[in-house]
Structure 1
């Protein structure tokens, strides 16, 4: 089964990262590269990407009429959260427990910035 391991960032984690020395940043990236290599060696990595800074993204504006018809208020075309998706690992594992093992090895998991979610199978009864 496929699982998406999402790695999040927020202003505080970004400030910590920017406060690191070049050596500390290189060490952090080395941890991610080693984890990626281990997932590849195990034959469980489907795809992994680091995303560019959120400031480089474009959020499509919501159509006010569409929001109103759904009864959804909005005060702008932006995410209603301080956290943002910083990167991800898509893995194909035999069990959720195995996917959790990989997720727990991501350095950001110690900060509570990692989420594991099964990929929807396409079955309409799947929740």
Structure 2
């Protein structure tokens, strides 16, 4: 159990440092990434592309991270608060003007052979849209 918690903590520590290589090192080659209210992407290289888009469009830090693990260590859940800034337009979303936002989020992980093999992210997209549009 503690190895799985340490792995996900390393993943989030790397995220908060914007150390994409260290984040990717936590993932299995065939990682499944379930994008919030979107589709599933497969593979570490595809995840690298996702991180590049995120890095271009957003600057985010995760605070108050709480990790919970299943007794067998195979699954981890995370809850956190996203503090972010919307830097550049992201496809299908409102225009970016440097808007700041704070919203709760969560993620679910499957762990196999010391690597993350599934990441499912969730946050309230409507709350985010309301914050960045001022509606």
Higher relative contact order (CA 8 A, sep 6+): 1
> TM-score scaled to structure 2, two decimals?
0.27
Which protein shows a greater Rg? 1
Q: Which has the higher strand share?
A: 2
